[in-house]
Structure 1
Amino acid sequence: MIRTAVTVAALATVTAACTTSTGETPAPPKKTTLGAIRLVAYNSCDDMLAGLREKAAANVGPWGFGGVTPLTARAEDTAAITPNAKTAVPEHSTTNVHEAGVDEPDLVKTDGNRVITVTGGTLRIIDTATRKVTSTLKLTEGDERVFAPADLLLSGNRALVLFRGYGDAMFKATSAVPLGDTRYVLVDLAGEPKVMSTVKPQGTYVDARMVGSTVRIVTRSQPDITLPQPKENVSEAERIKANQAAVRQAPIDAWLPKIEIKDASGAVKTDTVKCERVSHPADYTGTSLLTVHTLDLAQGVTTTGTDPISLAADGDIVYGTGTSLYVASNPRWWSVLPMPIDIAPAEEPTPEEPKPTPEEPKPTPTIPPEETEIHRFDVASPGPPSYVASGKVSGRLLNQYSMSEHEGHLRVATTLTSADGKNSSSTVHVLKADTLAKSGEVGGLGEGERIYSVRFIGAVGYCVTFKQVDPLYTLDLRDPAAPKVTGELKITGYSAYLHPGGEGRLIGIGQEASEQGRTLGTQVSLFDVSDPASPRRLSQLFQKDSGSEAEWDPHAFLYWPKTGLSVIPLTQQNESGALVLKIDDSGVSKVGMIKHPTQEQQGDYAYQPGIQRSIVIGDTIWTLSQEGIQVNDATTLASQTWIPLR
Structure 2
Amino acid sequence: MKMMKKTDKQTLDMLREEFAESTETAKVPLRLQKESVVAMLKSSDGIKEKDFSAKTGTKNSIVKFGRIGIAAAAMIAVVAVAAANLRMGGVTVIKTDSFYESYRGLEPVRSVNSYEDVEKAVLEILGSKTADETKSSQTEKPSNGKEPDTQAENHGVIEGYSKYVAQANAQPEYGAENMRPVPNAAQGVVSYGDFKADIVKTNGEYLYIVTTGVDEENGGTLEQIKIVKVVPAGEMQVVSTLVLSDGTSAETVDECIEIYLKNNTLIALMSRYSYSASGAYDSISTVAVHYDITDPASPVKTREHVQNGSYVTSGLYESKLSLVTEKTIHKVQDKATLSEDDVIPSFSVNSSVTKLDAKDIFIAVNDPEASYLFVTVTDISDSEAQVGKLAILGCGKEIYCSANSFAVTRGFVSVDADENGEHTSFTEIYRFDINGSSIDFSESYVVKGTLAGGISIDEKSGYLRAATADDKANNFYILNEKTEFVSGLTGIFPNEKIKSVKFIGSNAYFVAGEDSEKTMIVDISDPTKPKVAGNISTEGFSHELYAVSDTALLGIGAAKGSDTTITLFDVSNPENPNAASVYTLSKENTILYGADKRCVMVDSEKKLFGIPVVKQDAETGTEVSAYVLFSVSDGKITPVGTYNHDDSYTGDAAVRGTCIDKTLYTVSGERVVAFSIDECKAVSSLEIR
Instruction: Please give the TM-score of this superposition, normalised by the length of structure 1.
Output: 0.70
CA–CA distance in structure 2, aligned partners of residues 410 and 325 of structure 1: 10
Trace 1:595-610 onto structure 2 (pairs within 5 A): 595-598=644-647, 607-610=650-653
Q: CA deviation at 1:629?
A: 1.5
Query: Is residue 430 of structure 1 aligned with residue 485 of structure 2?
Result: no
CA–CA distance in structure 1, aligned partners of residues 207 and 258 of structure 2: 14
The match for 2:607 is: 564
CA–CA distance in structure 1, aligned partners of residues 253 and 660 of structure 2: 29
The match for 1:615 is: 658
Mark the CA change 1:594 to 1:148 in structure 2 (over 3 Å): closer, same or farther: farther
Paired residue for 1:537, among 547, 565, 579? 579
The match for 2:436 is: 382
The match for 2:553 is: 506
CA–CA distance in structure 1, aligned partners of residues 511 and 396 of structure 2: 24
Give the SS at the match of 1:53: helix
Mark the CA change 1:330 to 1:215 in structure 2 (over 3 Å): closer, same or farther: farther
CA–CA distance in structure 1, aligned partners of residues 432 and 630 of structure 2: 39
Aligned residues with identical type, % of pairs:
22
Paired residue for 1:307, among 388, 397, 417? 388
The match for 1:182 is: 286
Q: CA deviation at 1:214?
A: 1.6
Q: CA deviation at 1:324?
A: 2.3
CA–CA distance in structure 2, aligned partners of residues 118 and 291 of structure 1: 26
Q: CA deviation at 1:425?
A: 5.1
Q: Which residue identity is paired with 2:571?
A: V
CA–CA distance in structure 1, aligned partners of residues 325 and 318 of structure 2: 21
CA–CA distance in structure 2, aligned partners of residues 147 and 567 of structure 1: 32
CA–CA distance in structure 2, aligned partners of residues 53 and 269 of structure 1: 29
Paired residue for 1:473, among 520, 544, 564? 520
Paired residue for 2:240, among 128, 135, 143? 135
CA–CA distance in structure 2, aligned partners of residues 174 and 548 of structure 1: 37
Query: Is residue 586 of structure 1 aligned with residue 625 of structure 2?
Result: no
CA–CA distance in structure 1, aligned partners of residues 161 and 285 of structure 2: 17
* 8 Å contact kept, 2:601–2:611: yes
* 8 Å contact kept, 2:256–2:268: no
Mark the CA change 1:253 to 1:213 in structure 2 (over 3 Å): closer, same or farther: same
* 8 Å contact kept, 1:59–1:285: no
Trace 1:437-452 onto structure 2 (pairs within 5 A): 437-452=484-499
* 8 Å contact kept, 1:116–1:125: yes
Q: CA deviation at 1:223?
A: 1.3
User: Which deviates more from structure 2 when the two are superposed, residues 544-553 or residues 155-164?
Assistant: 544-553
CA–CA distance in structure 1, aligned partners of residues 130 and 566 of structure 2: 48
Q: Which residue identity is paired with 1:151?
A: E
* 8 Å contact kept, 1:167–1:204: no
The match for 2:198 is: 106
CA–CA distance in structure 2, aligned partners of residues 637 and 495 of structure 1: 31
* 8 Å contact kept, 2:364–2:395: no
Q: CA deviation at 1:133?
A: 0.7
Give the SS at the match of 1:139: strand
Q: CA deviation at 1:452?
A: 3.5
CA–CA distance in structure 2, aligned partners of residues 426 and 122 of structure 1: 45
* 8 Å contact kept, 2:256–2:269: no
CA–CA distance in structure 2, aligned partners of residues 310 and 638 of structure 1: 52
The match for 1:405 is: 459
* 8 Å contact kept, 1:570–1:576: yes
Q: Which residue identity is paired with 1:212?
A: E
The match for 2:207 is: 115
* 8 Å contact kept, 1:497–1:550: no
Q: Deviations over 1:316-360 (max 9, x none)?
A: 5443333222334578x9xxxxxx9x9xxxxxxxxxxxxxxxxxx
Q: CA deviation at 1:151?
A: 0.5
The match for 2:95 is: none
The match for 1:213 is: 319
Q: Which residue identity is paired with 1:123?
A: I
Paired residue for 1:222, among 328, 341, 346? 328
CA–CA distance in structure 1, aligned partners of residues 490 and 275 of structure 2: 38
RMSD: 3.8
The match for 1:254 is: 342
CA–CA distance in structure 2, aligned partners of residues 112 and 274 of structure 1: 43
How many equivalent residue pairs?
514
Q: Which residue identity is paired with 2:536?
A: L
* 8 Å contact kept, 1:619–1:634: yes
Higher normalized contact order (CA 8 Å, seq sep 6+, divided by chain length): 1
User: Which deviates more from structure 2 when the two are superposed, residues 544-553 or residues 316-325?
Assistant: 544-553
Q: Deviations over 1:30-88 (max 9, x none)?
A: xxxx965535311222222223322332234467466665895xxxxxxxxxxxxxxxx
* 8 Å contact kept, 2:104–2:445: no
Give the SS at the match of 2:438: coil
* 8 Å contact kept, 1:166–1:204: no
The match for 2:445 is: 391
CA–CA distance in structure 2, aligned partners of residues 324 and 618 of structure 1: 36
User: Which deviates more from structure 2 when the two are superposed, residues 438-447 or residues 210-219?
Assistant: 438-447
The match for 1:29 is: none
Mark the CA change 1:185 to 1:521 in structure 2 (over 3 Å): closer, same or farther: farther
The match for 1:154 is: 261
Q: CA deviation at 1:480?
A: 4.0
Give the SS at the match of 2:451: coil
Q: Deviations over 1:486-544 (max 9, x none)?
A: 211235322423333336322223x221xxxx364543211121222222212222334
Give the SS at the match of 1:182: strand
The match for 1:58 is: 128
Paired residue for 1:497, among 522, 544, 569? 544
Q: CA deviation at 1:431?
A: 2.5
Q: Deviations over 1:119-141 (max 9, x none)?
A: 11111111132421101111014
